[in-house]
Structure 1
């Protein structure tokens, strides 16, 4: 897995240290990209994409990948009630300002895209464009219930082989073409040693945010927040097997934004891995479009 050039630490308003992996360096004609991961994920998921974008021969640029509070190498929060999109949006504002990265192009996977929409509603001037990776203003209930079923319930595998087998059992229907080596690499990113076993690289208290979710729970749509991105270049990437972002939601996004750059990734579910050369090339071209619109 590609390694970042360096790491930065940003301290939140309430004193938590956030880890930010940094790839490449500033270029005057290229916007910084900030990669925001999914609910239980870390910035390490973006390593191949970040390295490729940072060294793009047409337009190299700085790329940042954040570990939210309670994930990866960032501090865990003693108050799990702070693991919310609004609080994390505030943290992202701190990262953008603390690392002099605004206005940035946001690549938001799942929860990262929700944070981008909330950010657009409160601080749109910090955003130069958004790539929504398998997320939109409407979240499909079936996919969210599936996520609830495993967050905080991954067990304590005693080896990375066992962790890889767990991931394959849970997610093979979303990613049918991954090899055993792929599942093992995913386990390396998603688990860390803890005594004689392994634990996920996130605070298990994140699960509390899903405790109240039932098949009957109303799920608010974020169309007003999406519309707050008017004038900003937008791209949406959907996994063809996704149970989180529906074709109907993508169609409504396109109706509201006819200029929406749209890509469907075959044979992948939620969320697409953003590692294939053709996918990376599309994102790089979108980033150059954001540069030109500045």
Structure 2
């Protein structure tokens, strides 16, 4: 079913604090009783968008009845590109999340943050803990491994332009196949449709190239700033951390340190996946949905 005819979600456009047009998918609660429960808000990775969560959102709503919302930050998906490229930063994207919560009338929610979304969630939990009912960190923590970020910077800046969907899928499998041996042909095609968009007679990555170009300015030989101070805010709320078995961004050592600092944190290791695990695969989904059910 094409995006234009999919009726499983409502498309919402709303303004950021600076007036930029932003976009969200709203998978409405299945019943009035479910609508009274805290919704689930999904925050995507650096160059990714709300389509990453489509299958997860549908399955989670079916299981829990809850409302699920997925966002496109500025410069991604159907949100507008920002003329001021310096605004592609975590502080501005945190502001985009606050704008979404206000526009969608969400006072409190369970948040699922994948990669960059999890970094934003660290800021949200430390600055607005009243909003966060519970948190899921998908392959992200207070410490980012420079080697993993360098790998992301390299493949995002290759400038590949697949000629069709088959080639787009092949590009992804060639780049990430070693880290995701468990994915099926359908999973790779789904990933391609989440990452790329068909427009102007071709297949293009669905984000502003300036987002990836910013990574090239980083010093990958030095440790990156950590978020341990912000991570402390999670001690007052239910927390789950997922790590892909082959992740190069979230190390096993960092995950162990996270658990040591937050003994109540629930952990899940996604076997056969890298950065970042697909949340709708049966094993990961069961673990995450069970955690959200317990809140």
TM-score interval w.r.t. the shorter chain?
over 0.9
Query: Given the alignment of the two structures, is residue 138 of structure 1 paired with residue 143 of structure 2, yes or no?
Result: yes
Residue matched to 2:170: 165
Matches within 5 A, 1:95-106: 95-106=100-111
Q: 1:71 aligns with which of 68, 76, 82?
A: 76
Residue matched to 1:196: 201
The two structures, once aligned, show a CA RMSD in angstroms of: 1.6
Residues 278 and 284 of structure 2 are in contact (CA less than 8 Å); yes or no, is this contact kept in structure 1?
A: no
1:230 CA drift (Å): 2.3
1:28 CA drift (Å): 4.9
Query: Given the alignment of the two structures, is residue 22 of structure 1 paired with residue 26 of structure 2, yes or no?
Result: yes
Q: Deviations over 1:120-161 (max 9, x none)?
A: 222111111110000000011111000000223242111111
Greater percentage in helix: 2
Residues 240 and 267 of structure 2 are in contact (CA less than 8 Å); yes or no, is this contact kept in structure 1?
A: yes
Residue matched to 1:47: 54
Residues 4 and 21 of structure 1 are in contact (CA less than 8 Å); yes or no, is this contact kept in structure 2?
A: no
Rounded to whole Å, the distance in 2 between the matches of 1:3 and 1:72 is 18
1:19 CA drift (Å): 1.0
127-136 vs 153-162, greater mean Cα deviation: 153-162
Structure 1 residues 61, 51: closer, same or farther in 2, change over 3 A?
Answer: same
Unaligned residue ranges in structure 2 (runs of 5+): none
206-215 vs 266-275, greater mean Cα deviation: 206-215
Rounded to whole Å, the distance in 1 between the matches of 2:82 and 2:212 is 13
Residue matched to 2:283: 278
Query: Given the alignment of the two structures, is residue 87 of structure 1 paired with residue 92 of structure 2, yes or no?
Result: yes
Rounded to whole Å, the distance in 2 between the matches of 1:214 and 1:3 is 45
Q: 1:35 aligns with which of 42, 48, 53?
A: 42
Residues 36 and 106 of structure 1 are in contact (CA less than 8 Å); yes or no, is this contact kept in structure 2?
A: yes
Rounded to whole Å, the distance in 2 between the matches of 1:200 and 1:274 is 21
Unaligned residue ranges in structure 1 (runs of 5+): none
- Structure 2 counterpart SS, 1:113: helix
Q: How many residues align?
A: 288
- Structure 2 counterpart SS, 1:66: strand
Query: Given the alignment of the two structures, is residue 12 of structure 1 paired with residue 28 of structure 2, yes or no?
Result: no
Q: Deviations over 1:55-75 (max 9, x none)?
A: 21xx31100000111011111
